Structure 1
Amino acid sequence: MKKSEWDEAVVIALGANLKGPFGSTRELLEAALDRFADEGLVITHRSSWWRSAAWPDPDEPAFLNGVVLVETELGPRETLAALHRIERAFGRDRTRKNAPRTLDLDLIAHGRLVMDEDGLVLPHPRAAARRFVMGPLAEVAPEWRLPGTGERAAVLMGRCEVGLDAERLG
């Protein structure tokens, strides 16, 4: 993808701190990525896996996180619905906010769209503050710019306030 194309990317953050029936959270996340194409989400770029303490309660199991860029014909609401279907297939329980979870898929951006309506806010309102999102995103698309502000992922990574312990795994 050329730098000028970063702006059109659909950006999805992944995370898990429970392995469910899989051998590890890494295996669970890899299996979840295998489902993306079935939902019309074609992965074009993906980050390394990053580890970070659970937030807001660091006593919970640590998270494994990453970011993918996808191409899709789906609109933002359809993309979000596809991500929720994948989460459900992997046992995501949304009954308690910030609880440990098998799979968390966040729609960070859908191209350059800026919107806030009926449960969908783009870009994701807290992504720019989270190192476990901006670190992986800066790894694969340092020139990507946050819709609405134009700030680059590489710059935002240096200003994160949450998940400062996030580190890329080898």
Structure 2
Amino acid sequence: MTETPNPHIVDADTLTGEMRPIRRTVLALGSNLGERMENLQGAVRALADTPDVWVTSVSPVYESEPVDAPEGSGPYLNAVVLADTTLAATRLLDRALAIEDAYGRERSEVRNAPRTLDVDLIVVGDRRADDDTLRLPHPRAAQRAFVLRPWHDLEPDAAIPTQGKVADLLASLDESGITRRDDLHLELE
């Protein structure tokens, strides 16, 4: 059984005694190559198996048309994962990249190329970052219905720091390119 920590307390690192805040984290998952559902489920499992990360909920699965992708790119399956973590945002990003690599993600110079797995950090608490390796909140999340719709399903009152409430952002977007797939379910084990 997974214990969900209280996000309003601070957790002490048992090795160093360092106090690290527990932050609510939103991660977006996507796959449009290979066994898409297996890739998403594997990402959920890998996140849940990460020390100092407690996955608390997983959204319904949505299918979406690729956005700004090369011609011939197939549709994505997308989901959002909510987790609490004491990891630094940079360490969580390292873990997300390692999970992508484990599922055969090939990086390309082609922008928005098809991929077996995409694991994006959308928000990590109220952390802000804008450098070459980490940008928080995710710079394009507010314009992506395939991120906002599943997140809204989990947290109708959620907000992206400095950008606004998810419900308001979603209301301004065209959702015609995404479809909820009630025949597909990700398991939170």
2:130 to 93, 109, 116: 116
Is the 1:143–1:152 Cα contact (8 Å) retained in structure 2?
yes
Report the equivalent of 1:156: 169
Residue 13 (structure 1) aligned with residue 40 (structure 2): no
Scaled by the length of structure 1, the TM-score of the pair is 0.86
Q: How far did 1:102 drift?
A: 0.2
Is the 1:114–1:148 Cα contact (8 Å) retained in structure 2?
no
How many residues get paired?
160
Report the equivalent of 1:54: 66
- Aligned to 1:39, the other structure's residue is in SS state coil
* Runs of 4 or more above 3 Å deviation: none
Is the 2:24–2:85 Cα contact (8 Å) retained in structure 1?
no
- Structure having the higher strand fraction is 2
Root-mean-square deviation over aligned CA pairs: 1.9
Larger Rg: 2
Is the 1:65–1:133 Cα contact (8 Å) retained in structure 2?
yes
Structure 2 letter corresponding to 1:17: N
Report the equivalent of 1:34: 45
Scaled by the length of structure 2, the TM-score of the pair is 0.78
Report the equivalent of 2:141: 127
- Runs of 5+ in structure 1 lacking a partner? none
Report the equivalent of 1:169: 181
- Aligned to 1:36, the other structure's residue is in SS state helix
Residue 79 (structure 1) aligned with residue 92 (structure 2): yes
Structure 1 letter corresponding to 2:47: F
- Runs of 5+ in structure 2 lacking a partner? 9-22, 183-189
Report the equivalent of 1:140: 154
Structure 1 letter corresponding to 2:65: A
